Structure 1
Amino acid sequence: MKESSQAEPPHPAKDVLDHVGYRLKRAHAALRGAMDQALREHGLTVPQYACLEVLAARPGMSNAELARATFVTRQSMNVVLRGLQEDGLLARPDTVGHGRARPVTLTEAGWRRLHAAQASVYAIEARMVRAVPAERLAGLLEDLDRVARALKD
């Protein structure tokens, strides 16, 4: 049996806990935990909140478009949309004139719930932003965009 050589790490981290991917995941888990807790008080999950935020900015999106914009599968988005519709937070037509996509819009109740939840979520984002020196924030955002683009290639 041939011995395999160990792959070289992409940077000089001494420990897996120092790898970029691990630190990104840790930051994501912290954000998700804080958002889960805050949104529970508003009767929303993170995917539901993300859906409301995206629809507020881009009303009329289809299920597939919402799924892409909120980083969930189309099947998961169907569940999210069904729950939000049952709660009276969004509206979808029963039928459409052409095509299969049924555009989604927020109801008045959806707007109220979104605005109430935004205060909590924006407070979490403000905590994150305060943790980064002001002169480094723009660079951090650019770096995160570069990382995302590099992984799409």
Structure 2
Amino acid sequence: MTRTFDPFRDMDRFFADATRTPASVAMPMDLYRSGDEYVVAIDLPGVDPASIDIDVEDNTLTIRAERPSRAGEDAQWLSRERAFGTFARRLNLGSGLATDRIGADYSDGVLTLTIPVAEAAKPRRIEVKHGTRTIAGAVETPQE
């Protein structure tokens, strides 16, 4: 069976492997905006919720979690693909977010953070008022 060379397939595989970091493998994440808040969903199966630590400092959100190994020290590994230990993920938050109102929920092995947009950063409509002007001592009001 002859295999044809496809440089794009090989480059995709190379870059997919190069962009995988220990944090992205152990803590895969989705990030999206829904209305006036950002939602971060991080897969953390097998993590005790008490081991999850979330901090915000200088617009940097840090998530730490620990997944213990279930095997004893005398285990002879045949295959070891599940990561264990302490993991951390950092997200640089832009300005305009209400970091004092971040919500966190851990359910079914998924940590979900909601980060609201600050009121000052939300788009707002500015009303244009029709002014009045004075003509020879009389006040003229605009007609609508």
Same fold? TM cut 0.5: no
Normalized per residue, which structure has more helix?
1
Rg (Cα) greater in structure: 2
**Into which bin does the TM-score normalised by the smaller protein fall?**
under 0.3
Name the TM-score, length of structure 1 as normaliser: 0.24
Name the TM-score, length of structure 2 as normaliser: 0.25
Normalized per residue, which structure has more strand?
2
